[in-house]
Structure 1
Amino acid sequence: MGAQTTPPMSRRSWALLLVLCGTIFLEGADVAMLGVAVPTIRADLGLGTGTAAWVMSGYVLGYAGFTLLGGRAADLLGRRRMFLLWLTVFVAFSGLGGFATEGWMLVAARFVTGVAAAFMTPAALSLITTSYPQGPARTRALMIYAGANAAGFSLGLVTGGLLTALGWRWVFFAPVLFAAALLAAALWLVPVDPPRPPRGTGSFDVFGAVTAAGAMLLTAYGVVRFEHGFHGWPLTVAVLAVGALSAVVFVRVERRAARPLVRLGIFRRAAMVRADLGALLFVGSFFGFQFVLTLYLQELRGWSTLQTAFALIAMGVDAVLAPTLTPVLVRRFGNAWVVLGGFVLATLSYGLTLRIGSDWSYAAMFPGLLMTGIAFAFVFGPLTVAATDGVDSSEQGLAGGLLTTCVQFGSAIGISSVTAVYGLAGGDARLGAFRWALTVPLGMALVGLALALYGVYRSRPPKAPSVGDPAPRGRRLAARA
């Protein structure tokens, strides 16, 4: 049998893909630009340290807290409807953030923007997985989607530095113009939701939605509080405990619901669960690594925001490789091997950077930055394919929501953990504290590497039965489990 070829896409299919990928580009750029601008915003508005931290944490809380619900809402209420509605909310509240005159206004705007992203992003991902047939066409679309995500974050670092130089409010206003153009194009290109069979009164699992949102919000808040270290740890433990209890209640509710918000049987898909956990570990290590390097360059080396942004853009190589090289490697070696290669590169990069010195040249940093970007290109796209592959079209929103939830929790865990370790190691721009903080992304990458190795082992084709084998079918079934 010859190699699978990718069928050509129509102009309308390409245009739809660009619009859907534009939303994840927008989301990545929005986060990166704000991360660069926070110090300037803090100085201009006179924000305290806690309030400034919540400008970023508020977005993460809204995003991580509602992504699972957002993904399922796309399945139940219509992907086009959810996508257009929440893209509009994203545009509106991103713009409102630019008019903020008090810290609480900015935090509130960022929280609602995060909630909008939690509904918009899974809807966009499920539109891709249901609009392009499973196989080479969908794989190519998802690789382009992964590249757009990487490009948004990488270019957002530089754009954020440039816009902050003009005035930090442009960090909020500029995305509105881009998002408005996306919204206008989406009204024309996004396919109409298919008619759904009528459901009886009370068919929507309201109690499941409430308990899911509560469990996710509390857990996300507890994770965000990691950055406080031992300060206030009783509250952190209490919040996480209540979040865990809410998750138990949610599971019990879903088991008894006639039409559950989340069909628990979906977690029997071992490949999907491995992909979600792999995404959590990789994204957590990636953002933790990027955060430590940003602190190192600005606090220890005294580099400007713009200098730091241009230095880190080397990691943006993933935006080029994800849609070009990665699909070729996936066709040749398969998802599992490409993901394994990405985790190997990430582990090497973080391990090499542990040697970081107080006077490191950029030439010494560059190999680690480049390997990290290549690792992202090798890992994120294939994991996105694995997390949605084979899932029924009626649950593609749920699968996308689960993946996005893991991505958001991964970024929150990575950043909060390195912040906590940095503080416990002394902080105050000490070289030893940076090195200790870098052990967090290295540890997450090592765990992800072990998971990827297991994924390669499970993806091996079943061994051909020998003559006289009494149970070849049983072994084949076991190998596919």
Structure 2
Amino acid sequence: MLIVVCGAFSLDALDNIMVGIAVPQIQSELGMSTPAAQWVVSAYVLGFGGFLLLGGRLSDLVGRRRMFLVGLAVLAIGSFAGGIADSGTLVIVARFAMGIGAALTAPATLSIIVGNFPEGPQRNRALGIYTACGAVGYSTGVIVGGLLTELSWRWTFMLPVPVALAALIGGLVLVPRDAARPRTEGRRHYDVTGAVTVTAAMLLLVYAIVEAPVHGWLSGRTLGIVAAAIVLMAVFVAVESRAKEPLLRLGLLRNRKLVGASLIAAAILGTYMSYQFIGGLYMQNYLDWSPLEMALAFLPIGLLIAFFAPRAGNYLNKTGVLWMMFGGMAAYTAAFLLFLRIGDGSSYWLVILPCMVLIGASFPFAFTAANVQATSGVAESEQGLAAGILQTGYQVGAAVVLAVVTVRMSTAEEIVTSAPVTLGGYHNGTWVIIIVAAVSALAALIAGVRNKKEAPIESVS
């Protein structure tokens, strides 16, 4: 069961990275403009981030196993459609569908693990393996994406199809059915209004973040979309406060562990994806490396995560989640500070590799700790929703931090025209992720000091 659900998580990472590498070839073959090509990546983020809360709650109401299987089916169909698409519009629509599929599988996979492994050392180790599988997907996705793109960008869409189908069959056979829920009041009521309003609000928010670097953060367009998202979120809160069976029990947002873990999650993935974005541009556009050379440069991160992640649970049992998150984010900050040394013709071994080593060694500890913290003490009936909130933190954090980094790296005109980023632009973007990582490390440190008597994680509830 663990192999199946972790394989699906690895597939999400593998697929997203592979298609990201193939974007230049997709743009060239299908005659897409630069803003349109950017949506090959952004459409996935939009579908993923917009539907996560709904996907998480559906896994609680409809069943984790069922939503896991449905998500894999949607992912396979979307991937196949993208592989045979003959226009940029169809590719973007396929990527949006793939994002929705991932939004259904991601909360389900995490809640399946939490629901089948008891809180404590067993769950911590399972979540460590879960982290390692995601790292394998990211690391192999960079290399496989580079190799497949040499053949055709269509293979980056087609490869996930048989993998998703294999995971679908494995889920049917190996993932246990959800326990039957007692019907205390007869027919179950579904919060359709809440689902529509929160999904629309999240879609508008993610869309505004993705488009802000092009149109400007303070432009009327951006502010208008954000205002509409806020209004919809206010309507959602009003609906949830009166719903008989709310999509999101508002009291869950008073869970400081869950909210804190989601904020740390936003910093973890936001800074990492931004670093990968800056590093990729620096290596390919500034140092003139090939996509495969860049992929091999990032490989140490994935290898180190895969090595340390299964062991992260053992350290969690001894130190507690807050100190693990502090250590991970502090090492993150140090890694990004080291990256500021990049310049003309910087040595990979002396300048870039030390950053990769620190990131690869620290990521599994911060990531695993955030997952454990978010799901600790949450009722069984709300594990899917908690996972959805945590995953929303990851995705929105990645979108927000990357958008701010992009603004700091170059002007809006340079983004639209694809003008090369200067060395100063790379440094400016790196300072953004340094600040985010440092503030997150400080927050985890303050929380750790306030909870000096924190019990080992197996007794935390």
- Using the size of structure 2 for normalisation, the TM-score is 0.94
Equivalents in 2 of 1:234, 1:200: separation in Å? 49
Of 47, 64, 69, 1:79 maps to 64
1:339 counterpart letter in structure 2: M
Contact 1:340 1:453 in 2 (8 A): yes
Query: In the aligned structure 1, how far is the partner of 2:193 from the partner of 2:454?
Result: 43
**Contact 1:146/1:322, CA 8 A, preserved across alignment:** no
Of 437, 440, 460 in structure 1, the residue corresponding to residue 432 of structure 2 is 440
Instruction: Give the corresponding residue for 2:262.
Output: 276
What's the CA shift for 1:457? 2.1
5+ residue gaps, structure 1: 1-15, 464-479
Counterpart of 1:437 in structure 2: which amino acid? G
What is the Cα deviation at residue 450 of structure 1? 1.7
- Shift of residue 43, structure 1, vs aligned partner: 1.1
The equivalent position to 1:373 in structure 2, one of 344, 357, 360, is 360
**Separation in 2 of the partners of 1:456 and 1:462?**
8
Q: CA deviation at 1:314?
A: 1.7
Partner of 1:185: 170
- Alpha-carbon distance in 2 for matches of 1:231, 1:255: 32
User: Cα deviation per residue 1:356-382 (whole Å; 9 max; x = unaligned)?
Assistant: 112101112100111111121111011
C-alpha displacement of 1:411: 1.3
Q: CA offsets, 1:300-354, max 9 Å, x none?
A: 1111111111111121134323433322321221221111111111001111111
SS in 1 for 2:436: helix
How many residues of Structure 1 are paired with residues of Structure 2 in the alignment? 450
- Structure (1 or 2) with the larger CA radius of gyration: 1
Q: Distance in 2 between matches of 1:324 and 1:29?
A: 19
Whole-angstrom distance in 1 between the partners of 2:432 and 2:193 = 37
Secondary structure of 1:439's partner? Answer: helix
* 1:61 corresponds to: 46
Q: CA deviation at 1:280?
A: 0.5
SS in 2 for 1:68: helix
Post-superposition shift, 1:229? 5.5
Q: Is 1:271–1:386's contact at 8 Å kept on the other side of the alignment?
A: yes
Deviation at 1:231, TM superposition (A): 8.2
Q: Judge conservation of contact 1:322–1:381 (CA < 8 Å) in 2.
A: no
Q: Which amino acid aligns with 1:443?
A: I
Counterpart in 2 of 1:11?
none
Q: Report the 3-state secondary structure (helix = DSSP H, G, I; strand = E; otherwise coil) of the residue aligned with 1:98.
A: helix
- Quote the residue 2:302 is aligned against: 316
- 1:139 maps to what in 2? 124
Please say if 1:339 is aligned against 2:325.
yes
Distance of aligned partners of 1:182 and 1:367 in 2 relative to their CA distance in 1, 3 Å threshold: same
CA distance in 2, matches of 1:316, 1:220: 27
Partner of 2:400: 413
Q: How far did 1:394 drift?
A: 0.3
Q: What CA deviation, in whole Å up to 9, does each residue of 1:269-295 have, x standing for no partner?
A: 111111110000121011111100101
What letter is aligned with 1:203? Answer: H
The one-letter code matched in structure 1 to 2:356 is: L
Report what 2:104 is aligned to.
119
Give the distance between the partners of 1:139 and 1:376, measured in 2 at CA.
15
Q: Which residue of 2 aligns with 1:325?
A: 311
Aligned to 1:214: 200
Shift of 1:83: 0.9
How far does residue 202 in structure 1 lie from its aligned partner after superposition? 6.9
Distance 1:404 1:394 in 2: 17
Q: What secondary structure, in the 3-state scheme, does the structure 1 residue paired with 2:84 have?
A: coil
Which stretch of the first structure deviates more once superposed, 202-211 or 225-234? 225-234
Give, in whole Å, the separation in 2 of the partners of 1:333 and 1:120.
31
What SS does structure 1 have at the residue aligned with 2:357?
helix
* 1:197 and 2:182 correspond: yes
Moved over 6 A (4+): none
Fraction of identical pairs, as percent = 40
For 1:51 and 1:201, the matched residues in 2 are separated by 46
Distance 1:73 1:42 in 2: 36
What is the CA distance between 1:200 and its match in structure 2? Answer: 4.8
- Give the 5 Å matches for 1:347-362: 347-362=333-348
Give 2:93's aligned residue: 108
Could you tell me how far 1:95 is from its partner in structure 2? 1.2
Distance of 2:323 and 2:217 partners within structure 1: 42
Q: Could you tell me how far apart the structure 1 residues matched to 2:450 and 2:215 are?
A: 38
Query: Which position in structure 1 is the counterpart of 2:450?
Result: 458
Post-superposition Cα deviations, 1:419-477, rounded to whole Å, max 9, x if no partner, equal 121123976231111111111211110121122112212332179xxxxxxxxxxxxxx
Residue 61 of structure 2 aligns to a residue whose secondary structure is helix
Provide closer, same or farther for how the CA distance between residues 222 and 155 of structure 1 changes in structure 2, counting only shifts above 3 A. same
Residues 305 and 268 (structure 1), Cα distance of their counterparts in 2 relative to 1, 3 Å cut? same
CA contact (8 A) 1:144 1:322 kept: no
RMSD: 1.8
Whole-Å separation in 2 of the counterparts to 1:59 and 1:137: 33
Q: Which of 301, 307, 313 is residue 287 of structure 2 equivalent to?
A: 301
